[in-house]
Amino acid sequence: MNPQQQVRIAVLGAGTVGTEVIRLLRTGKDDLSARLGASVVLEGILVREGEEPRDPIVPAELFTTDGFGLVSRADIVVELLGGLEPARSLVLAAIEAGAGVVTANKALLASHGPEIYAAADAAEVDLYFEAAVGGAIPLIRPLRESLAGDRIRRVLGIVNGTTNYILDKMTTDGMDFDTALAQAQELGFAEADPTDDIEGYDAAAKAAILASLAFHTRVSIYDVAREGITGITAQDVASATSTGHVVKLLAIAEETDTGITVGVHPTLVPLAHPLASVAGSFNAVFVEAEAAGELMFYGRGAGGLPTSSAVLGDIVAVARHRVAGGLGPRESTYRSLPLADPGDVVTRNQIRMVVVDRWGVLAEVARVFASQQVSIETVYQVPGRTTDGTAELLVTTHAATVRALAATVSGLTGLDVVDRVESVLRIEGSQ
């Protein structure tokens, strides 16, 4: 080790993840220095005005509220502030000053990724973001390094631990949505304001990052079709179980004949599928590649310790490049595929509806499906759900476009014999 050479690290944010990163940097300083061949120096920690340290491991003497001054004197800037500003401005300032950047900020990359990638390329500095998707799960590196010579066809997975915990509790313990959400908040899996998680914004940001890497095409969060889980009821979960499925919030990105599609949707996953068994707050992502075939990445997708592990791995990678010279992988947008029309996406679906319980109803319902060329796979009348002269039907379709399905649902709601359409859920897999 060259004791004269130093790698100066600035940490922006001392929240849950920031505290754990600082802990690892301080307690593992000697080991890290030996790995890098240079001395690791914690240059400073950006905090908000008047913020107090939440853990003795965070040295208060390194606190500063001058973010721009801090990044100007660092070799590596670790951005753990979250949100868009001042994170964006500080990251760009760090890049302009010649610092490598490590970030866990999926919202920043999903919204301003192209600007930040371009700045890093122009300045010839590293930009690493393993912790932005999947916490400790090694996912970003395999996509942009290990599978760089392959062609990825599809990426799908559970990328939000909060929603997976809620849906898992609704399935295994019979909780309703509100009860499961309250428990998730009590355990710290969900924020006091859980909107980003339960409405699918968090998963959509991660889906945009994964799609960008997988298809070598710039995809932003604004390109992602998004649906959260607030509309999922105990009846939806029970119906899924009765047909051999479990409800999961999936991020799905795939290449089609007309371009790429990226979306986040509550989805019925067959019980035989490996994603069906992903429980609690765990994450799992499936990658389908042309040569490698099916790959699955599984682990804890959130929390201070798992996320800090991924952040520290990025710090080591960037620091090694700093010491030895050279850069890591750059942004790849050579394919620049178009975004396919969301209405052209082909899926199977399960429609749950309440109809008048009398003869001839099924024929009228079937005519609506036929008018949109949506083929019915099965029809199942749920026993004992209604007692007021109505019946609950579960209709499973063969593969059809989203556009045709929407027209079908519109037609069904216009029938006198249909009291209401309760839910429409996609089914993973096609037939």
**Catalytic residue list:** 206
DSSP-based three-state secondary structure for 291: coil
Helix axes 177-186, 161-172, angle to 10 degrees: 130
Per-residue CA distances from 244 to 229, 239, 302, 317, 342 (Å): 20, 9, 29, 44, 27
Helices (H) and strands (E) in the chain, counts: 14, 17
Residue 203: which of 170, 233, 166, 163 has the closest Cα?
163
Q: Which residues of 392-417 are buried (b: 16+ CB within 10 A; e: fewer)?
A: bbbbbbeebbbebbebbbebbeebeb
d(CA 26, CA 12): 16
H or E stretch covering 44: strand 38-46
Identify any residues that bridge with 253 across adjacent strands, giving them in sequence order. Answer: 155, 262
d(CA 92, CA 101): 9
Residue 221: what are its φ and ψ, rounded to 5°? -60, -25
| Contact of 251 with 206, CB cutoff 8 Å | yes
Distance of CA 325 to the CA centre of its chain: 33
Contacts of 52 (CB under 8 A, 6+ apart): 60
